[in-house]
Amino acid sequence: MRGGQRPALMWVAHRRATDLKRSDCLKRRRMSGKADMEYISIGTVRIAKTAALAPMAGVADTAFRTVMKEFGAAYCVGEMASIKGLCYSDRKTAELLSLTAGERPAAVQLFGCEPEFAAQAVEIAERYEPDIIDLNAGCPVPKVAGNGAGSALMKDPVLFGKMVTALVGAAHVPVTVKIRAGWDAEHINACEIAHIAEECGAAAVAVHARTKTQMYSGNADRNIISAVKQTVKIPVIGNGDVDSVEKCEAMYRETGCDLVMIGRGAYGNPWLFRDIGDFYAGRPAQSPPALDERLDVMRRHIELLVHCKGENVGMKEARAQAAFYLKGMQNAAKYRGMCGRLTKVDDLWELIDLIKSENDL
């Protein structure tokens, strides 16, 4: 038995259950008359109505985005860059804003709370030819929200509106906004903020249906996304807890959102985008990747990391990425422990050779 695979009887039961769920989903699509691939438009940017990759600082870099796009992510948003930092020649500008041809359609994401710097930041960002510019009004981490940016903008609707207005006024591409449900359970104002974004010229709004204080815990509340969809006329992108074809279909069905966005569900799992694409194109479901395929894609991902960032930085960041790909397989804890010691590309090859030898590959 290959490592990471279920025993035969368990595997058959799992596949039957999955096939039944997908059969139910397909029946609903046929009954609704949605058998063909659909597309949405954000400004002039056309995007397949499958699943997009969410912006994730420190994770969704060029290498990550490239692999996810190769497996079918419909749209990508880059790591957030500081509006004020751009204006002061932040040395990481190129790394954060650069987009390759294989990632498109793609957006760059900006964060900040200084409208007076917005025009200059947009001018710098547009040198990298993004298809879309996205304003981060949802990041919950203290170093961002604690300085008045990210999700803290939702506590100040007037300032939020000024930020959107300034970006839209300076940009030559569509401007979108990513928000959360609100600051906390007592201050759920996603609908108000989305309405302001629309009034100020935003072309779409993405909603992570958790509050700032939830961070990434608990469950995303799809009712928030549904309420935003009923509030605005611009496209609404739903984000939160999607890690399967079934949850993607449920997000569309239960919220009426125009596009689904996937974040943590994509960790070490680019096949999720393939499976969602197959489902909405009406293609048969494919089997989950065998261990050797998982190792091949992991290797390619990490080689891209090293190509983009050099061996020293790339291999340090590869430790977490490699661990994502090995999650759930036989002896995963042992191999993930070894991932934490990756320093050189040769270390990666040794790890892959060990896994293959211990799993008869």
pLDDT tens, position by position, 317-349: 999 999 999 988 888 899 999 999 999 999 999
Phi, psi of 132 (to 5 degrees): -145, 150
Strand partners, 259: 237
Q: How far is CA 243 from CA 103, 139, 239, in A?
A: 21, 20, 11
Q: What is the pLDDT of residues 116-146, one digit of tens each?
A: 999 999 999 999 999 999 999 999 999 999 9
pLDDT in the model for residue 326: 93
pLDDT over 80 (residue 230): yes
Under the banding of pLDDT at 50, 70 and 90, the label for residue 95 is confident
Residue 326 near residue 339, CB atoms below 8 Å: yes
pLDDT over 50 (residue 8): no
Report, as an integer, the average pLDDT of 155-175: 98
pLDDT in the model for residue 13: 45
Is the domain spanning 289-358 CATH 1.10.1200? The answer is: yes
pLDDT in the model for residue 7: 35
pLDDT in the model for residue 92: 79
pLDDT over 90 (residue 68): yes
pLDDT in the model for residue 26: 55
- Choosing from 25, 139, 248, 257, which is the catalytic residue? 139
Q: How far is CA 168 from CA 80, 96, 119, 176, in A?
A: 17, 21, 9, 9
pTM, full prediction: 0.88
Which residue, chain included where needed, has tokens 């009426």? 256
Report, as an integer, the average pLDDT of 259-264: 97
pLDDT in the model for residue 3: 40
pLDDT greater at residue 358 or residue 35: 358
Report, as an integer, the average pLDDT of 74-93: 90
Which helix or strand (DSSP H or E) is residue 227 part of?
helix 222-231
Report, as an integer, the average pLDDT of 251-268: 97
If you average pLDDT over every residue of the chain, what do you get? 90
Is residue 139 part of the annotated active site? The answer reads yes
pLDDT in the model for residue 89: 78
What is the third-level CATH fold of 39-281? Answer: TIM Barrel (3.20.20)
pLDDT over 70 (residue 1): no
pLDDT over 80 (residue 113): yes
Residue 145 near residue 152, CB atoms below 8 Å: yes
pLDDT in the model for residue 37: 83
Q: How far is CA 166 from CA 25, 103, 184, 206, in A?
A: 42, 27, 27, 19
Q: How many CB atoms lie within 10 A of CB 99?
A: 19
Do domains 39-281 and 289-358 share one topology? The answer is no
Q: What is the pLDDT of residues 168-206, one digit of tens each?
A: 999 999 999 999 999 999 999 999 999 999 999 999 999
Residue 62 near residue 262, CB atoms below 8 Å: no
* Share of residues in the chain with pLDDT > 70 (%): 90
Q: How many whole angstroms separate alpha carbon 109 and alpha carbon 100?
A: 15
Which helix or strand (DSSP H or E) is residue 223 part of?
helix 222-231
Pairing label, strands 45-48, 39-42 = antiparallel
pLDDT in the model for residue 29: 52
Q: How many whole angstroms separate alpha carbon 204 and alpha carbon 201?
A: 9
Q: What is the pLDDT of residues 10-67, one digit of tens each?
A: 434 444 455 555 556 555 554 444 557 899 999 999 999 999 999 999 899 999 999 9
pLDDT in the model for residue 21: 56
All structural domains of the chain with their residue ranges? 1-33, 39-281, 289-358
Question: What does the CA dihedral 256, 259, 265, 268 come to, rounded to 10 degrees?
Answer: 160
